[in-house]
Amino acid sequence: MSKQYVYMFSEGNANMRNTLGGKGANLSEMTSLGLPVPQGLIVSTDACNRYYDASETIPEGIVAEIDQKLQELEVVTGKKFGDKDNPLLVSVRSGARVSMPGMMDTILNLGLNDVVADGMSKIMGSTAYDSYRRLIQMFGEVAMGVDKKHFDLDMDTVLKKYNIASDHDLTLEALKDVISKYKDTYLREVGTPFPEDPKEQLLLAVESVFRSWNTPRAKYYRKLNGFSDAWGTAVTIQEMVFGNMGEGSATGVAFSRNPATGEDELYGEFLYNAQGEDVVAGTHTPLPMSEMKETMPEVYDEFYKFAKDLEKHYHDMQDMEFTVERGKLFMLQTRSGKRTAQAAVKIAIDLVNEGVMNKVEAVNAVDVNVVDGLLHPQFDAKELEKVDAIAKGLPASPGAATGVIAYTAEKAVEYFNKGTSVILTRLETSPEDIEGMHVSNGILTARGGMTSHAAVVARGMGKSCVVGCQDISFNDKGDAVINGVIYLEGQEISIDGGTGFVYDGRLKTQEVEISEDFEQILTWSDEMAELDVYTNADTPKDVMKALEFGAKGIGLVRTEHMFFESDRIRAVREMILSTSQMQREIALRKILPMQRKDFEDIFKVMRELPVTIRYLDPPLHEFMPTTTQDIEELAVVMNISTTELREVIRSLHEYNPMMGHRGCRLAITYPEIALMQTRALIEAAINVTKELDVVLQPEIMIPLVGDVEEFNYLATKIRELSDSLIEASGVEVNYRVGTMIELPRACLLADEIAKEADFFSFGTNDLTQMTYGFSRDDAGGFLNDYYEKGIYGSDPFASLDTHGVSQLIDIAIEKARKVKPDIKIGICGEHGGDPKSIAYFKQAGFNYVSCSPYRVPIARIALAQD
């Protein structure tokens, strides 16, 4: 049997989302649950890929299959496509395997033309013409790329002519006028008349959905979320139902729970006598569901019941789209609802308590990217008492955000590239703004409800967002006017997405505490996870934060961070620029007590938990003085002339510092540096042991080892000094000496190194740059070309390359465990806190991942997720 490309709703189910798209699969599932779903057919994602294989034409076999299934739909509905007396109208809807809100296209009311509209008007009155004008506009915009403004202009002209306030109140005469204007516009802009042949309409619409898979905004959205370009979109062709049949009809979107707070209440918006995107377009102000409870109690109750049934069925909170046609409810979409971090956590706990979900599902239901928002600062409460808000809108996505105003997405990107934080401020957002939204700290819109584009996207990104802020208007220069005050682009404002308040200027923020519900999710996560989470932290403050967030150890203390502090940098420079060992030892003696104090402070916080301390790593040029003043001062201290000093600085210049004199190579040349660090570390450990009476677990980590002899040379010296200090002190210190694995050569020789080293920690940042052969600092300049040309899918520094770099890791772990089965292995690169990379680390044989303090809770959850 040949491959099937088109499916009836009755042939599908929720598990077929890869083939049918999320929307199609769930419509099939709702059909089999017996919910009132207008029936239809689904053209599969495979068909989309065939369309692209066939250089953007729909293969004939697939056209024939659509035809055949459309006939089946005619039988099921008892209507006929293109028939004037009993017409079947359809929507053509996009839907990939994952939801990409607003990224792709949908066209409603296909199957109408002059003759069908006249015929249909005999059955359903002016709704026929209302649907027809919508079709011409949507088809023109979506399938033919006509600019929306042309249709808007026509509409305005007609509304003025008949003195009508809104396009929802058009009279029959006005509707006919709109249709004729739209058709003229269509002809003028497209060059051919609006197609009267329904089959032609249908195929062009299907094609336009296929094409919308590859619009720049859809591609950008996929890149942002790491979705594959190869998935393709499905196309759902579904019988139309009509929310635009007067006051007893309506259309809306609703969540089964409040997506902002997690409260157990039906939460959504609807419009009477409306169709499709009217609710989310921001052009009409929608009504809350509570109003529907009053005016259409039966429909409301029925919908409520469906919402609860769907929650139980899918074991999760649902986001649903519906239409009421003359009092009859139809379900048009359901999917797992995007929610704020607060809501995510509350809903997960509630659903477990209600028996709808189990703990594993609850942990999996928490979107780790959104949870990020829970951990970030809020406005300082005291500060808030002192200031008045300048405006208030709807609290669409929580979190405190400050930044300068950008009125366009492009401007937001511009500010972002300059390192300035931004609040994207717009009348409303649209999918074209996606990149600007991504780079913004917060998003503020004058229009739109809780389900508007801005609100939905911001929640998905875990970004602070205030929408529907009616105190804001825009003057003809495009600047916002808030209560009579003009705000210019570049001016600072603050928004609170948890309350909806907008403030002038930059407000102070404060740290958040982890809620009880969140703690519960984290505890369940730890029960399920097999790896521990450590943290990368260099200061007692960061270490304390990480412990609060549940870190089980420190995976990386970067000792050079301590060197950069203003009071020490001079001694460090003195050490580096010394021309004799004596001079160097004098400088090191100055650094020793400071470094010892740093370690003591960290040990006191960590007590018996492991603390992995990496010895000096960066290329020396990073420490060099650059200003004349610094050079002159240093020359005096070192008792040499500035000319001499400049000469030394010049001699340290390297062409490729990242591959130069750094890591263990420094200590090989100057063992006294490693010995100073060892003395500081062991003496600190001894002091804290005596003070607190605990057994410490310091782990000494040598960076950038590529050969076991490098390791041995240093480890021998480090162990000798450590042992003699510890012996003399009479206390117990459980120290170990291990290495970073961050060079391809170290991976290939991991067995030799593992024989000697007490532990491994993979430095995946360096391993990535050394494996790819480009440096992180320079790659930004050309990687975009690689994404655009489809050569790389994503940034290997953000998510570990599980195709290439991971093979080196696999080799290293296998070799190491062969000679030392219980060797402790961790990862301390930036990837340690990245959920996607964590999916790989989980199965690669690591003992722990280490990440920055704010990523610790995210890593804990990610480690527990499937």
DSSP secondary structure, 175-195, as one string: HHHHHHHHHHHHHHHHSSPPP
Q: Where are the alpha helices (DSSP H) in 321-408?
A: 341-353, 359-365, 368-375, 381-386
Contact (Cβ atoms closer than 8 angstroms) between residue 615 and residue 721: no
Quote the CA–CA distance of 133 and 569 in Å, as a whole number.
Answer: 71
Q: Which of 269, 433, 496, 742 binds Mg ion (CB under 5 A)?
A: 742
Quote the CA–CA distance of 841 and 160 in Å, as a whole number.
Answer: 64
Nearest 10 degrees: Cα torsion 332, 335, 341, 345:
120
Quote the CA–CA distance of 556 and 558 in Å, as a whole number.
Answer: 6
Q: Does 261 help bind ligand ADP (rule: CB under 6 A)? A: no
Quote the CA–CA distance of 20 and 38 in Å, as a whole number.
Answer: 17
Contact (Cβ atoms closer than 8 angstroms) between residue 23 and residue 234: yes
Going by the DSSP 8-state scheme, the letter that residue 140 receives in this structure is: I
Q: Which is nearer to ligand ADP, 91 or 559 (CB)?
A: 91
Q: Which is nearer to ligand ADP, 79 or 596 (CB)?
A: 79
Q: List the single partner that 177 binds among Mg ion, ligand ADP, none, CB under 5 to 8 Å by kind.
A: none
Going by the DSSP 8-state scheme, the letter that residue 558 receives in this structure is: E
Convert residues 310-349 into a mask of x (bound to ligand ADP by CB under 6 A) and - (unbound): -----------x-x--------xx----------------
Q: List the single partner that 429 binds among ligand ADP, Mg ion, none, CB under 5 to 8 Å by kind.
A: none
Q: Which is nearer to ligand ADP, 241 or 749 (CB)?
A: 241
Stretch that binds ligand ADP, among 232-240, 340-348, 539-547, 628-636 (CB under 6 A): 232-240
**Shortest distance, CB of residue 315 to Mg ion, whole angstroms?**
21
Q: Which of 766, 795, 830, 834 binds Mg ion (CB under 5 A)?
A: 766
What does each C-alpha distance from 866 to 222, 361, 708, 726, 784 come to in angstroms?
A: 21, 9, 37, 45, 31
Q: List the single partner that 251 binds among Mg ion, ligand ADP, none, CB under 5 to 8 Å by kind.
A: ligand ADP
**Shortest distance, CB of residue 104 to ligand ADP, whole angstroms?**
7
Q: List the single partner that 766 binds among ligand ADP, Mg ion, none, CB under 5 to 8 Å by kind.
A: Mg ion
Quote the CA–CA distance of 757 and 612 in Å, as a whole number.
Answer: 14
Q: Which is nearer to Mg ion, 238 or 333 (CB)?
A: 333
Q: Looking at the chain, how many residues does it have?
A: 866
Give the closest residue to 106 by CA, choosing from 4, 212, 189, 196.
212
Instruction: Single out the catalytic residue among 48, 469, 747, 828.
Output: 828
Is 561 among the residues known to form the active site? no
Task: Give how many residues touch Mg ion by CB under 5 A.
Answer: 5
The Cα angle at residue 400 between residues 397 and 402, in degrees rounded to 5: 115
Q: Checking phi first, is residue 309 left (phi over 0); if not, alpha (psi -120 to 50) or beta? A: alpha
Q: Does 763 help bind Mg ion (rule: CB under 5 A)? A: yes
**Shortest distance, CB of residue 330 to ligand ADP, whole angstroms?**
7
Convert residues 272-311 into a mask of x (bound to Mg ion by CB under 5 A) and - (unbound): ----------------------------------------
Question: Are β-strands 554-558 and 532-536 bridged in parallel, bridged antiparallel, or unpaired?
Answer: parallel
**Shortest distance, CB of residue 341 to ligand ADP, whole angstroms?**
23
Instruction: Single out the catalytic residue among 453, 465, 664, 747.
Output: 453
Quote the CA–CA distance of 619 and 625 in Å, as a whole number.
Answer: 14
Q: Which is nearer to ligand ADP, 276 or 498 (CB)?
A: 276
Q: Does 559 help bind ligand ADP (rule: CB under 6 A)? A: no
Quote the CA–CA distance of 569 and 733 in Å, as a whole number.
Answer: 30
Q: Does 108 help bind ligand ADP (rule: CB under 6 A)? A: yes
φ, ψ dihedrals at 335, nearest 5°: -160, 165
**Shortest distance, CB of residue 323 to ligand ADP, whole angstroms?**
5
**Shortest distance, CB of residue 467 to ligand ADP, whole angstroms?**
17
CA count, 13 A, side-chain hemisphere, 396 = 32
**Shortest distance, CB of residue 22 to Mg ion, whole angstroms?**
10
Stretch that binds ligand ADP, among 237-245, 535-543, 578-586, 631-639 (CB under 6 A): 237-245
Stretch that binds Mg ion, among 172-180, 651-659, 694-702, 741-749 (CB under 5 A): 741-749
Stretch that binds Mg ion, among 137-145, 228-236, 313-321, 491-499 (CB under 5 A): 313-321
Q: Checking phi first, is residue 113 left (phi over 0); if not, alpha (psi -120 to 50) or beta? A: beta
Q: Does 697 help bind ligand ADP (rule: CB under 6 A)? A: no
317-320: list long-range contacts, CB under 8 Å, 24+ apart.
317/255, 317/256, 317/257, 317/259, 317/347, 317/351, 318/255, 318/256, 319/253, 319/254, 319/255, 319/256, 319/259, 320/253, 320/254, 320/255, 320/256, 320/268
Q: Which of 19, 28, 45, 106 binds ligand ADP (CB under 6 A)?
A: 106
Q: Which residue is nearest to Mg ion (CB)?
A: 766
Q: Which is nearer to ligand ADP, 42 or 749 (CB)?
A: 42
Q: Does 276 help bind ligand ADP (rule: CB under 6 A)? A: yes
Q: List the single partner that 332 binds among Mg ion, ligand ADP, none, CB under 5 to 8 Å by kind.
A: ligand ADP
Question: Are β-strands 848-851 and 824-827 bridged in parallel, bridged antiparallel, or unpaired?
Answer: parallel
Q: Which of 12, 21, 24, 38 binds ligand ADP (CB under 6 A)?
A: 38
Is 828 among the residues known to form the active site? yes
Stretch that binds ligand ADP, among 102-110, 176-184, 207-215, 793-801 (CB under 6 A): 102-110
Q: Which is nearer to ligand ADP, 91 or 850 (CB)?
A: 91
Quote the CA–CA distance of 748 and 809 in Å, as a whole number.
Answer: 9
**Shortest distance, CB of residue 72 to ligand ADP, whole angstroms?**
16
Q: Does 251 help bind ligand ADP (rule: CB under 6 A)? A: yes
Q: Which is nearer to ligand ADP, 252 or 399 (CB)?
A: 252
Question: Are β-strands 422-426 and 442-445 bridged in parallel, bridged antiparallel, or unpaired?
Answer: parallel
Quote the CA–CA distance of 338 and 315 in Å, as a whole number.
Answer: 14
Which residues are known catalytic residues?
453, 828
Q: Which residues of the shown chain bind Mg ion in the complex (CB under 5 A)?
A: 321, 333, 742, 763, 766
Q: Which residues of the shown chain bind ligand ADP in the complex (CB under 6 A)?
A: 38, 91, 93, 102, 106, 108, 238-241, 251, 276-277, 321, 323, 332-333
